[in-house]
Chain A
Amino acid sequence: DAMVIQNPRYQVTQFGKPVTLSCSQTLNHNVMYWYQQKSSQAPKLLFHYYDKDFNNEADTPDNFQSRRPNTSFCFLDIRSPGLGDAAMYLCATSRGFSYEQYFGPGTRLTVT
């Protein structure tokens, strides 16, 4: 089945220790998104790639970076995680901007 895959599902990192989360898709969608979701809140968009074009949301901290080496993969790098970065990180894809988005299962990040 075509899908969005996130690895790992659970990640524990230490305060200030860089961490990378990964996402892959078999949908061949043009757009890939990274969202942050905190408990009992809606997902919050961090950034997205349309093909190789990167767009950062205005309020996304500089601590968060992303890479998309090819159509299928996208990575979220958190350079120096703080306690406030503990959250569920969701990857999503869509054919284009005005189409429905399909989410992966998420990576739960814990910062100790």
Chain B
Amino acid sequence: GQQLNQSPQSMFIQEGEDVSMNCTSSSIFNTWLWYKQDPGEGPVLLIALYKAGELTSNGRLTAQFGITRKDSFLNISASIPSDVGIYFCAGHGYGGSQGNLIFGKGTKLSVKP
């Protein structure tokens, strides 16, 4: 089945540093979504991307839908302690069961004050 490879698995950074994480797939995706999940809570949608090449920002977050439709990245600028959490990429591929959002395994972000 379709899979998303998300990297890195975890990151330990200093407050104020920029962060970059990405997701790749061997097959084409028509949607890329980025979520943040805090412990004990549901994932919160950060950015949704629908067009190849699309670059979208949400505050200090920027995400891009890769031109090949097989990858996406998320950047966080000037990280702060509340950025701590698990970030998931997710997408809708072609040919999968309807409604099935494919998830990456997540990137766990730790920020040292």
Interface residues of A (CB under 8 A from B): 4, 6, 31, 33, 40-43, 45, 48, 50, 55, 57, 88, 90, 92, 94, 97-106, 108
Contacts and interface: CB of A to CB of B under 8 A. Distances in A.
Contacts of B44: 103
Contacts of A90: 42-43
Contacts of A106: 40-42
Given A103-B43, A103-B44, A42 B30 contact: no
A6 to B, nearest CB: 8
A41 to B, nearest CB: 8
Task: State which size class the interface on B falls in.
Answer: 20 to 34
Top 5 closest pairs, chain A to chain B, by CB: A42-B103, A103-B42, A100-B48, A106-B42, A48-B99
Contacts of B73: none
Contacts of B90: 101
B92 A97 contact: yes
